[in-house]
Amino acid sequence: MMPNRLSKLLRRSGALATAVALVGSIGACGNDATEQRTQILRDKIAQKIMLDIRYFCPDQQRNEENRGRCAEPVTELPAALGQMISDTGIGGIILFADNLESADQIIALNSDLQAAATSSHLGSPLLIGIDQEGGRVHRLPRAEAVAFAGNMAIGATYPLHGDRFAGETAEAMAEQLRVLGFNVNFAPTLDVNSNPDNPVINVRSYSEKPEVVAELGIAAIQAFQQRQVAATVKHFPGHGDTSVDSHTGLPRVDRPLEQARATDLLPFTEAFEQAQPALTMTAHIQYPALDDTTLHSRDGEEIVVPATLSRRILTDLLRDEMGYEGVIVTDSLGMAGISDYFSVEEAVVKTFAAGADIALMPLKIRFPEDIARLDEIIDRAVNAVLDGELSEAEIDTSLARIESLKKDYIDAQWIAASPSQKRDSAAKVLADPQHAQLADELASAAVSAIYPPAEGVLPVLDNKAKKIQVIAPTPAVGEAFRLSLEGVSKAAVEVLDPHTVLEELPGSTGDVLIVASIVPGESAVELGGMEDLGRLRRPPMALEDLYETYSRGLEIARARGQKTVFVTMRSPYEAARFHRLADLHLATFDYKAFIGADDLFQGPIYRALASALISDVLPTGSLPVTVESEEETVEMKTVSGG
């Protein structure tokens, strides 16, 4: 049974609005009334802010020596940050991989965060969010929480399996998140990846077909929310047709209005109608067909308004026309798509004016003096209300949406449970063997043949194979390949370094050459924490040098009669460059592995690949996007031998 205090906190709705009425009825005047009104406004604004606490250096000051860089991950709540949460009454926290070391540690951190929030004068518990999309964007420790291949892998299973994997993986992730104390997941991605050069969405998208994105996204939303984790659809109004990463620049989409509605907006429209996602995240993109209004950046440059700051997009379109009633949260305001053009304070005021309910990560709290910046941001927004720049009535309506979200998704029973109860529940869920089985099934179902293979290639690994050579982009990928291949074949496995392969390959021999590629490189959103396989690193090669190495390696191997396989483990579009150089092209849409308790590299996708290479039929996955070739396009084509 939850304590009465927590029960009241979560049942309470409109508490701050009530406080305003009480102040008016007291009849206070002068400075007291002004101070009371200002404090109430500060409380309202604070509830609309969600911060990250990725790193914090409590005993340091920002100076020339550290140049403002802090690399101490917050895995335990420092007293200064706990006090900040209690003093300001902020509404939410987002955690990243750096914050998450183990289940027990995560439970302790989230418990301390909630304790700090509920001890504030507001007593309102926190929204605690995470980017747990699956695939490329996975924050929980892989050694404890089973990881699943991401959205494009799920899209590859759609022709044979429908929305099964979208729903079941979301259900499993929600169970994992819930027992660790999370209540908001910034997933699923509803972007339609129609641009092969998209560096940030790419395989985070289910498909290039908006109808498929909609169906799979709806299944995921429903699964998350049925397990009491608030789902977030992103990135509205659609980040799929961009060639710039909004973490590092300001992308622009130049679709006409009719195409915008038929492509980018369609998955959101259907999701709002059928699944009622709790949150919608904005995109830091320019979309002139939806709003061609211009404004001036802090440097005086006139630019088309980014969607995150656009009232036409967030209020007129999303709220009024599309009828969305949930919470609108910005993408991180620290991303270059916003921070390169506007100050933190101006970005917060402008996005609230546009209609956003929650400002996500408006500033980085890294040193003690940064805490004062939070007060400055809140004060700037309060003054905007007092000056009429922001509508207090709209702030109150926004606050009511946030309170409703908290009431629906914050688990008061989890907050009130003892540490041992939390640990026992988490241990049971995270050890569920069905999660591991589901991850293996998804990986196997997702592997796709990109082009019809050369005659006589299958099975790639037969009893005649004595030596398998693998050109791996990183030592970690090579090690994962080696272990998985040794599990299905008696052939020796030689892992080759791209930096030296052109010197080594001509003098060596083998029966099969596998080239594994994880191009494009990790985008900023994936670098949400320490690399999973950080102990095995090497300097990256320039892309054109890497591709030249792959091409020459395949040519050498084919010239001496080896079977050749090109495995694209991220974006399938790159296979077009090697169409005629490999006997078989496979797409996995995932490459992640982790070091297990046995200190060996593990990963469902590597087991799935090994099985595909010993099979005499092609894998059953289907490309969810169009991959060009020299003579044709390959589009949603199931190439299966049985």
pLDDT digits (tens, 9 = 90+) for 535-578: 335 567 888 999 999 999 999 999 999 999 999 999 999 999 99
CA distance 291 to 309: 10
**Which is more confident, 155 or 531?**
155
- Catalytic residue selected from 331, 370, 511, 590: 331
Q: pLDDT band at residue 68, thresholds of 50, 70 and 90?
A: confident
How much is the pLDDT for 528? 47
Q: pLDDT band at residue 178, thresholds of 50, 70 and 90?
A: very high
> Active site includes 245?
no
User: Burial of 121 by CB count in 10 Å (0-12 exposed, 13-18 middle, 19+ buried)?
Assistant: exposed
How much is the pLDDT for 27? 42
Backbone angles phi, psi at 384, to 5 degrees: -65, -35
Looking at the predicted structure, is the pLDDT value of residue 405 above 80?
yes
Looking at the predicted structure, is the pLDDT value of residue 12 above 80?
no
How much is the pLDDT for 523? 57
Phi-psi region of 69 (alpha: psi -120 to 50; beta: other; left: phi over 0): beta
Structure tokens at 22: 């009480």
What is the Cα 496 distance to its own chain's centre? 31
How much is the pLDDT for 58? 95
Mean pLDDT in residue range 82-96: 97
Q: What is the full DSSP assignment across 47-72? A: HTEEEE-SB--TT----TTTTT----
Among 189, 394, 194, CA closest to 280: 189
Which residues lie across from 164 on neighbouring strands? none
Backbone angles phi, psi at 115, to 5 degrees: -65, -40
Q: What is the rounded radius of gyration, in angstroms, for the C-alpha atoms of the chain?
A: 26
pTM of the complete model:
0.92
CA distance 190 to 268: 7
pLDDT digits (tens, 9 = 90+) for 468-515: 999 999 888 999 999 999 999 999 999 999 999 999 999 888 999 999
For residue 546, the one-letter residue type is: L
How much is the pLDDT for 182? 98
Task: Indicate the SS3 state at residue 39.
Answer: helix
pLDDT above 90 covers what percent of the chain?
A: 80
Looking at the predicted structure, is the pLDDT value of residue 310 above 90?
yes
Looking at the predicted structure, is the pLDDT value of residue 611 above 50?
yes
pLDDT digits (tens, 9 = 90+) for 520-533: 666 555 554 333 33
**Mean residue pLDDT across the chain:** 90
Structure tokens at 103: 């289940």
CA distance 101 to 599: 16
What is the DSSP code (8-state) at residue 562? -
**Which is more confident, 642 or 622?**
622
Looking at the predicted structure, is the pLDDT value of residue 399 above 50?
yes
Among 60, 124, 52, CA closest to 89: 124
Among 181, 284, 309, CA closest to 234: 284
Which domains does the chain show, CATH number per domain?
4-16+29-42+50-423 (3.20.20.300), 447-634 (3.40.50.1700)
Looking at the predicted structure, is the pLDDT value of residue 113 above 60?
yes
- Secondary structure E strands in 247-384: 279-282, 294-296, 302-304, 327-329, 359-360
Angle at 558 between CA 556 and CA 564, to 5 degrees: 110
How much is the pLDDT for 525? 57
